[in-house]
Structure 1
């Protein structure tokens, strides 16, 4: 059985982490599967949105602690393995940011430590009510320093620091309030709601969404004046496209656009 499965719904790719017996932990194999699939998606312009979910009773429980413990058996006590592991995990999180398609996390059950990092790294998130989120490594003596990067870029800093230092879990109501997820839906509606959002995005001009995602993250890292200069230049290029001119004409004429892309 594949550790990561993919089902395509038109222009939407639905990826499912498929190691339910290990709570879809980000094992070496899972990280490799995610890395490879994201690399494929980068080249697939016909795929316009991605949904990421987990099989079984949980979305993702973070790193595989059994694998990490085995890494200690190396002569250096695991130093090289741990560095490589966290580098590989960071590369997967960065790959989500770099993907041209918006990625929607659809967590349920629990999303803890690097699993919470995975939710925070996705562009959007719709969770099943009852899902619990935590960066709880501190409870076993391991501060969630790398999950902190994505978490602190999603939620207010004092809330992030409280989660990191107490190891406490938050529910979906609190996750919506803090901005970690967009909304929560009944568990039986999770897949349908996530796919519906993905299909809405997939119905837009794909090229516009692609440059929009790239510009969205780029401008966040810039001073205000540089952000306006950058996004203004992006909009100039966007306005010069044939499909954008067609979209504007179609809106004025009250008809569906005839897009090439």
Structure 2
């Protein structure tokens, strides 16, 4: 495998916009019309995710975008330009793919739940981004695809997230045909949780995030980590993870407070 090379140049400001509303942090891709995952955009997004992970006051992260395309995936123009490099672009391709994979891993490892807000097309690595989030809400006009096969480039990195989010045969259908699916099909496939009219998207996502943020922050962090830890394990091993998690959760201050509040018929006060 080639060494990852860092490609830096003067980067435009505002590729990712950050908005804080109490315990909810909104990260918005702000590079229309395609919101392509260029090196600069991925670096900005990675930085925003790192900051969210380090902020104990953030309970939910929303990942959104501006314009008519949620994300068109990797910046093919940027990649094609590097074919003129001495190595034919290999080092740059390695860097771009590794950066994207690391972003998906950051989302999975983030202590807070991440909700994708999709309005428009999510294609290739953009679809990978949606599939990597814990939850996804889209408009009724949103579309999704993994079209690499159409241009001689199988969507191998999006495959990792899509095959884990969608049902196996539906994921295979997307990857082998490269065809675009509508919001209803994406919900049937398991890529999204809810579909809402475009004019209500922000309102619904904000309400959805607020409901999650009202829960115990300790429970949310413990629960997300446990879900990831047991996924793919044999059932017996998964229960070992779950039992250990439940015991530790029972020892946590929020569990003591929550159970006490339930028995006392009052609202809990999370720490």
Where do 5+ consecutive residues of structure 1 fail to align?
none
Cα displacement string for residues 56-77 of structure 1 (whole angstroms, at most 9, x for unaligned residues): 1111011101001011111111
Where do 5+ consecutive residues of structure 2 fail to align?
1-12
Counterpart check, 1:15 vs 2:27: yes
1:1-261 map, 5 Å: 1-21=13-33, 23-260=34-271
The number of equivalent residue pairs is 259
Q: How far apart are the structure 1 equivalents of 2:253 and 2:209?
A: 25
Q: How far apart are the structure 2 equivalents of 1:259 and 1:4?
A: 31
2:171/2:189 contact within 8 Å kept: no
SS of residue paired to 2:138: strand
Q: What's the TM-score once normalised by structure 2's chain length?
A: 0.94
Q: What's the TM-score once normalised by structure 1's chain length?
A: 0.97
2:219/2:254 contact within 8 Å kept: no
**Displaced runs of 4 or more, over 2 A:** none
State the Cα distance separating 1:158 from its structure 2 match. 1.5
Cα displacement string for residues 166-202 of structure 1 (whole angstroms, at most 9, x for unaligned residues): 1101111111111100011001111111111111111
Cα displacement string for residues 123-174 of structure 1 (whole angstroms, at most 9, x for unaligned residues): 0000011111000111111111100110000112221111111110111111
For the aligned residues, what is the CA RMSD?
0.9
Q: How far apart are the structure 1 equivalents of 2:50 and 2:89?
A: 28
Q: How far apart are the structure 1 equivalents of 2:152 and 2:49?
A: 32
2:20/2:26 contact within 8 Å kept: yes
